Structure 1
Amino acid sequence: MADNIHDVQIDPRNLNILISVNGTLTPRAEAMVSVFDSGFILGDGVWEGLRMVKGGVPFLREHIERLYEGAKAIFMDIGLTPDELVKRLFDCLDANRMEDGVHIRLMVTRGVKATPYQDPRVTIGKPTIVIIPEYKTPNPEKSAKGLSLHTVNVRRGYPDVQDQKLNSHSKLNCITACIQAANAGADEALMLDPHGFVATCNSTHFFIVRRGELWTSTGQYCIPGITRGNMIRLAKDLGIPVFEKPFSLYDVYGADEAFVTGTFAGLIPVRVIDGRPVRNPLSTEDWSGAGPVSRRLSEAYKALCVKDARRSL
């Protein structure tokens, strides 16, 4: 049976976590927002997924910058300075006595509305800020074995419809892509751009390795992935030729390696795409899951996360 990138074992410690709702620490079972909240009614808001590693959050500045950039794009004032928001984040983590192996969802919506209507002018009060930290680590079997992908007919659309660079609460196109992939027995959906070139996956970014070169999409039809950007920089540092370019499924099917990236799981290899195994048929090396380029990048990324983990901007 197919799983997904967030396939994890349930950690009983999460039953007793404290969740920050507008700065108030609330037991998980009691944490809630209004049915009039903009996020519930319309998906009107922005969010970030972060990880806690050895007491800090890797790439904290990049995540906070992306959050505020997204809020500015939708004309939403978060209501806190970046430093104030980071303090609230670590107040929540410290109250839960968390240090490592934690995934955090930081969500900001436009706030409570006077009535269910899309116009931001009927919003009353301040934005809603929710911070949910959970003990959550990738399934090691999935990380070793690799994912299966299925190319869906749900496209990443043009920016004049909804800019795919915006990490908004409105994720219905990704959800429908995920459902289609799951119904096909795959772990994750591979999504194309409006021109038929490979764009990204429904919840991760997509890379292939061809003849020693690392390829990924142009980035015009996906969020500016922080893990994606780090993989590109690490590849350059390691002397691996890397290209952000349009490429088709033909190129994907002939790839020597493939993997996806994201904040939660880092780098996860891909073992099969649309029923086709991913592996260079001319290689004499017998590997399962990640290939040699993927392994180098994965180890370099893990080291970078530890090095960059911080508690302030």
Structure 2
Amino acid sequence: MTHGTHNAVEDPRNKDIQIFINGTLYPRDQAKISVFDSGYLVGDGVWEAFRVHQGKMIFIDKHLDRLWQSAKVVGINIPFNREELLQNIQTTLDANEMKNHIHVRIMLTRGIKKTPSQDPRLTISGPNLVIIAEHKTASLETKQKGITLFTSTFRRGSPDYLDPRLNCHSKLHEVQALMQALEAGADEALMLDIHGFVSTCNATNFFMVKNGEVWTSTGQYCMNGITRGNVIELCEDNNIICIQKNFSLFDVYGADEAFVTGSFGGLTPVIKIDGKTIGTGSPGVLTERISKLYQDLIEKEIQQ
């Protein structure tokens, strides 16, 4: 069984879900997109993923802000407004009778190409919008057991050629990093920046704890994580020292605790990195405290 931050409890209802494609809902086995789609041909698209609990789209404003920013960065003109997108998401949720423990992924590509090419001038349609909502409950076992990381030789890139904050469809770089980690027997990959400092993971953001302080990267070379930002704010609001700084594997190997963050799994403890046990090899006290604060934040978001 796959073990990692995206480990979900198996749910048979996902076999019969309806998927939204450009205004129409299709059964899962009939939901298809053209082989001439820009996202398929050259990874030319942007995406977002968020949770739905008790009928509430969690931190949706922050996710939509990031989606619109990403589309602007790559020059995709979104042909609908935020309210229209929210209605399409709600239509998808309603069609699937979904209210709780739902994971939604929005994918927006530049559109259909006239011929296989990276040239955006050969796009002959408007952007393609796909909304996939699934019943997904994060594995409790993963949170209790924690995950292991392996430091990949693939670095997080510089903002001047592919800004790591961009949620784009081009994820091959991260897949290569994850493949290295899996081949090394770890669950996921830790990635360094171009200077050799710890940056982020292949699909989540990384935090470590040392002497009661929480450390995370400067943010210059890591994913623009919504959960990462929420955790930093939670620490500041609850008198937990959280420092965004450069630090190396020398510091990580001597950490008292470590955890990663993501929209699906929230906070997931890290118990081993590159074969070296972190702290006691079990979820740490501060990790558990921040995780509880994050769950309280979600409950507050639901009530708003």
Normalised by the size of structure 2, how large is the TM-score? 0.97
The percentage of counterpart residues that share the same residue type is 51
Contact 2:150 2:181 in 1 (8 A): yes
1:185 paired to 2:178: no
Which of 264, 276, 287 aligns to 1:294? It is 287
Moved more, 229-238 or 1-10: 1-10
Contact 2:205 2:228 in 1 (8 A): yes
Cα 1:73–1:180 change in 2 (3 A) is same
Matches of 2:299 and 2:95 in 1, distance apart? 22
Contact 2:149 2:274 in 1 (8 A): yes
- 2:166 counterpart residue number: 166
- Deviation (angstroms), 1:159: 1.4
- 1:304 counterpart residue number: 297
**Secondary structure of 1:124 counterpart:** coil
- Deviation (angstroms), 1:161: 1.8
1:1-313 matches, cutoff 5 A: 3-279=3-279, 289-309=282-302
- Deviation (angstroms), 1:162: 1.1
Matches of 2:18 and 2:41 in 1, distance apart? 25
Gaps of 5+ in 1: 281-287
Normalised by the size of structure 1, how large is the TM-score? 0.95
Matches of 1:224 and 1:306 in 2, distance apart? 23
**Secondary structure of 2:132 counterpart:** strand
Matches of 1:306 and 1:65 in 2, distance apart? 22
Letter of the aligned partner of 2:173 in structure 1? N
- Deviation (angstroms), 1:195: 0.2
| Alignment deviations for residues 205-253 of structure 1 (CA, whole Å, 9 cap, x no partner) | 0000000000000111122110000000101111111100000001100
Moved more, 227-236 or 298-307: 298-307
- Deviation (angstroms), 1:289: 3.0
Moved more, 8-17 or 196-205: 8-17
- Deviation (angstroms), 1:158: 1.1
| Alignment deviations for residues 75-113 of structure 1 (CA, whole Å, 9 cap, x no partner) | 111211011111111110111110101111110000111
Contact 2:164 2:224 in 1 (8 A): no
Matches of 2:82 and 2:223 in 1, distance apart? 20
Matches of 2:4 and 2:124 in 1, distance apart? 38
Contact 2:200 2:223 in 1 (8 A): no
| Alignment deviations for residues 51-76 of structure 1 (CA, whole Å, 9 cap, x no partner) | 01111111100000000000000011
- Deviation (angstroms), 1:2: 6.4
Q: How many aligned residue pairs are there? A: 304
- Deviation (angstroms), 1:5: 1.5
Contact 1:2 1:182 in 2 (8 A): no
Contact 1:60 1:310 in 2 (8 A): no
- Deviation (angstroms), 1:310: 8.0
Superposition RMSD in Å: 1.3
| Alignment deviations for residues 272-311 of structure 1 (CA, whole Å, 9 cap, x no partner) | 111111116xxxxxxx632111111101111111221389
Matches of 2:106 and 2:20 in 1, distance apart? 9
**Secondary structure of 2:56 counterpart:** coil
Gaps of 5+ in 2: none
Contact 1:102 1:135 in 2 (8 A): yes
Letter of the aligned partner of 2:39 in structure 1? G
Q: Which has the higher contact order (CA 8 A, sep 6+)?
A: 1
Matches of 2:135 and 2:239 in 1, distance apart? 35
Matches of 1:100 and 1:229 in 2, distance apart? 23
Contact 1:54 1:306 in 2 (8 A): no
**Secondary structure of 1:223 counterpart:** coil
Moved more, 130-139 or 63-72: 130-139
